[in-house]
C-alpha cells in the first residue's frame, strides 16, 4: 500500500492517553491474546517476537470472582469471522492480581487490564484494589472497562446500553485511577453509540474502545439447531469491519472523545482506515487468535509505512 498524501500521523512514536504515555498505537484486543503471557517463547522467521512494537496488550477480561465460562462448544468459525460464547472464563480478580499482573510486569509487557462486573458500583472497589496492588508497576498503563460483552447472562450487552449506567461505571473507576488511563469498551448493539461515548466522556474516561462483538447466531445444518449451546454469541472478524468503522465515525464526530478502533483489523490497510476516521489507536482481535504475531506484524508494517 502506497502512503497517501493526506497521511500525517507518526505511527512509530509513543503517544499520550490521559495520564499515561503508551509505547505504540497497535494493541491486542481483550480475549484474543489470553492474559498476554502465553507467547514469550514464540519467535517468527525473522527473529521477532509477538510483542514487538505493541503499544499495549489488553488482557482477557477479569471478573470479581473466577468464572468457568459457558458450556462447550464456545467458538464457531464462519467464512468471514468467528462466533464466540466464551462466557468470560478467567481466574478471578484476586488470583489475577497475585499471579498474572506481577508476571506481566516482570516480563515488561505494556498492559491494559480489562475488568467486568455485574453492577456499576463494583468497578470502584476493583479499580481501587488494582491501584493498591500495582501502583508501582511501570508497564501497567490502565484499565479497559468491559461494558459490552454479549455472552454473559448477568449484565451482557444490556448492561452497557444505557448512558446513565455507562457513566456510573466510568465514574466509579475514575475516582480510583488518578494516574492510569481509563477506557470504556462500548457495545455496537445500540441505536446511538455516540450517546454512550458522550456519557463515558463526561464521567471522566480517557478514551472509548469501539467496538465489541456484534450479537450473532449460526445454525448447524446437521441438527437444525444453533451451533452454540447458548444460541447467541459475539461475532467478530473481517465481516464486522464496516460496522466498526461506522461506529467509530459516529463516536468521533458525535462525542469528541478519543477512540481506540476495534473490529476486523488484520493488516496495515485495515488499521489505516480507522486512523483516517480519527482513531488514536487500534486493537487486533480475531486475527490475533489465528496468528499470535498478527498485531506485531501490523505494528511493524504501519511503523515502516508511516515513516516512509
The residue written with cell numbers 448512558 in the block is: 163
Q: d(Cα 251, Cα 241) in Å, to the nearest integer?
A: 15
Torsion of CA 131, 15, 31, 218, to 10 degrees: 140
Q: Give the 3-state DSSP-derived string for 245-295, with helices as H, strands as E and coil as C.
A: HHHHHHHHHHHCCCEEEECCCCCHHHHHHHHHCCCCEEEECHHHHHCCCHH
Angle between helices 241-255 and 193-202 (to 10 degrees): 50
Instruction: Cell numbers for 1, please give them.
Output: 500500500
CB-based contact 25:35 (threshold 8 Å): no
Q: Which residues pair with 210 in a beta bridge?
A: 261
Burial of residue 46 (number of CB atoms within 10 Å: 0-12, 13-18, 19+): exposed
Counting Cα atoms < 13 Å in the Cβ hemisphere of 273 gives 17
* Catalytic residue (one of 32, 149, 169, 176): 149
3-state secondary structure (DSSP) of residue 190: coil
149 is catalytic: yes
Of 142, 97, 115, the C-alpha closest to 31 is 115
- Which residues form the catalytic set? 149
Amino acid at each position: 500500500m502506497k502512503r497517501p498524501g493526506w497521511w500525517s500521523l507518526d505511527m512509530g512514536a509513543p503517544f499520550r492517553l490521559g495520564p499515561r504515555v503508551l509505547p505504540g498505537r497497535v494493541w491486542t484486543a481483550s480475549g484474543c491474546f489470553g492474559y498476554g503471557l502465553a507467547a514469550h517463547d514464540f519467535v517468527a522467521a525473522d527473529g521477532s517476537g509477538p510483542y514487538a512494537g505493541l503499544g499495549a496488550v489488553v488482557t482477557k477480561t477479569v471478573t470479581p470472582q473466577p468464572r468457568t465460562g459457558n458450556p462447550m462448544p464456545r467458538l464457531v468459525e464462519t467464512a468471514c469471522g468467528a462466533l464466540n460464547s466464551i462466557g468470560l472464563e478467567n481466574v478471578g480478580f484476586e488470583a489475577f492480581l497475585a499471579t498474572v499482573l506481577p508476571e506481566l510486569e516482570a516480563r515488561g509487557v505494556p498492559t491494559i487490564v480489562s475488568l467486568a462486573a455485574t453492577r456499576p458500583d463494583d468497578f470502584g472497589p476493583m479499580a481501587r484494589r488494582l491501584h493498591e496492588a500495582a501502583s508501582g508497576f511501570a508497564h501497567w498503563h490502565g484499565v479497559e472497562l468491559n461494558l459490552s460483552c454479549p455472552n454473559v447472562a448477568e449484565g451482557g450487552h444490556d448492561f452497557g446500553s444505557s448512558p446513565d449506567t455507562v457513566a456510573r461505571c466510568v465514574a466509579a473507576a475514575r475516582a480510583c485511577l488518578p494516574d492510569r488511563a481509563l477506557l470504556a469498551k462500548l457495545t455496537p448493539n445500540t441505536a446511538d453509540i455516540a450517546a454512550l461515548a458522550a456519557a463515558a466522556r463526561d464521567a471522566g474516561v480517557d478514551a472509548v474502545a469501539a467496538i465489541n462483538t456484534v450479537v450473532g447466531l449460526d445454525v448447524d445444518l446437521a441438527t437444525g439447531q444453533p451451533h452454540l449451546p447458548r444460541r447467541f454469541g459475539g461475532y467478530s472478524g473481517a465481516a464486522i469491519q464496516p460496522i466498526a468503522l461506522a461506529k467509530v465515525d459516529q463516536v468521533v464526530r458525535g462525542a469528541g472523545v478519543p477512540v481506540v478502533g476495534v473490529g476486523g483489523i488484520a493488516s496495515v490497510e485495515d488499521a489505516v482506515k480507522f486512523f483516517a476516521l480519527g482513531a488514536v489507536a487500534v486493537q487486533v482481535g480475531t486475527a490475533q487468535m489465528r496468528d499470535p504475531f498478527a498485531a506485531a506484524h501490523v505494528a511493524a508494517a504501519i511503523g515502516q509505512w508511516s515513516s516512509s
